Structure 1
Amino acid sequence: MLSVLIETLNDEEGLARTLASLVGGAVEGVVREVIVCDTGSTDQTHRVAEHAGCQYVTGGTASGIGQAKGDWLLLLEPGARLVEGWTDEVVAHTARQTMAARFSPARGSRTPFLSRVFSGNRALAEGMLINRRQASALSKNADSGEAIARGLATRKLDAEIWVAPPRPRKSP
């Protein structure tokens, strides 16, 4: 049903945290596959993905979208963690909607107002649930998951996410 795509660049620790929050969804049969879309990691990101049974592709999110088998895609940043109960909301949304959706930030992970203003918003900070057709069309003109999500109209899911901490700029 759902393919999860996580775009990485030297994110082995964050990836492990995100994958741990997806276990319940896999057990319930909501998560069909997890695709780690790497953009040139030099750390052990590929080993984390391999040990967790994820599909590992290079070339970023666009490559992952091309490989995805689910009708719906869940784009997440490495380090983001979905809060228990997220699967019910995702199943309900995908059954009745075609519009993309984002999670609500968990109360403790909300960034203070001035920090949001001066640091810039990350389009994938709250995740993105999007149907594969729409994601595929958007990926033709986008070079990353962030570019796919930026400016896209979405609904807010009644499920929470612990937002990943901002990533320091890394060179491949």
Structure 2
Amino acid sequence: MLSVLIETLNDEEGLARTLASLIGGAVEGVVRDVIVCDTGSTDQTHRVAEHAGCHFVAGGVAAGIRQAKGEWLLMLEPGARLAEGWIDDVAAHTARQTMPARFSRARASRTPFLSRVFSGNRALAEGLVISKRQATALSKNARSAEAIARGLATKRLHAEISVAPAK
């Protein structure tokens, strides 16, 4: 089973889009819980999370990891949307792998090579599937989900993600 963690800061609209793409995973029983790890929002992010039945945790991703019930975590940016077929790919990966994984960018989300090189690439843009054990260890030295995702060796999943727009 999978716990989804979404770190937010004034992301009510993006959060709603991301949560909509997770509905199939909840129906299929793959998503055990969704935890919104807030870092000080002043908008209606908490209401979006509550209306969707998510756990809302103040204090960032480390607090969310501690509350996660799943053995595997799926970390996403608010506004990212998972494409059809992600459930089977993630379930297969978590059943046979121990290393973290990232999604493939959807064609519409792919940026030209030079743009990727010269822009500040976000480590969490393609999501991150990681064991709770590894995330717990990494969260001791990392203050954000982005810091946990940065520099990790990962496997590339076939399932696609439409990345969140840059802030």
Question: For the superposition of Structure 1 and Structure 2, which TM-score range results when normalised by the shorter chain?
Answer: over 0.9
Equivalent residue number for residue 82 of structure 2: 82
Equivalent residue number for residue 4 of structure 1: 4
1: CA distance between counterparts of 2:17 and 2:112? 23
Equivalent residue number for residue 158 of structure 1: 158
Which structure 1 residue ranges, 5 or more long, are not aligned?
Answer: 168-172
Equivalent residue number for residue 98 of structure 1: 98
2: CA distance between counterparts of 1:46 and 1:117? 35
SS of alignment partner, residue 16 of structure 2: helix
User: For this pair of structures, how many residues does the alignment match?
Assistant: 167
Moved over 6 A (4+): none
SS of alignment partner, residue 22 of structure 2: helix
Q: Which moved more, 1:111-120 or 1:148-157?
A: 111-120
Equivalent residue number for residue 138 of structure 2: 138
Amino acid at match of 1:120: G
Amino acid at match of 1:153: A
2: CA distance between counterparts of 1:165 and 1:116? 14
Equivalent residue number for residue 71 of structure 2: 71
1: CA distance between counterparts of 2:44 and 2:144? 21
SS of alignment partner, residue 74 of structure 1: strand
Equivalent residue number for residue 123 of structure 1: 123
CA offsets 1:59-94 (integer angstroms, 9 cap, x no match):
111110011010000000000000011000001000
SS of alignment partner, residue 94 of structure 2: helix
2: CA distance between counterparts of 1:114 and 1:158? 23
1: CA distance between counterparts of 2:100 and 2:109? 22
Give the deviation of 1:117 after TM superposition. Answer: 2.1
Equivalent residue number for residue 170 of structure 1: none
CA offsets 1:100-130 (integer angstroms, 9 cap, x no match):
0000000111122232222211000000000
TM-score (norm 1): 0.96
Equivalent residue number for residue 60 of structure 1: 60
Amino acid at match of 1:44: Q
State the Cα RMSD in Å.
Answer: 0.6
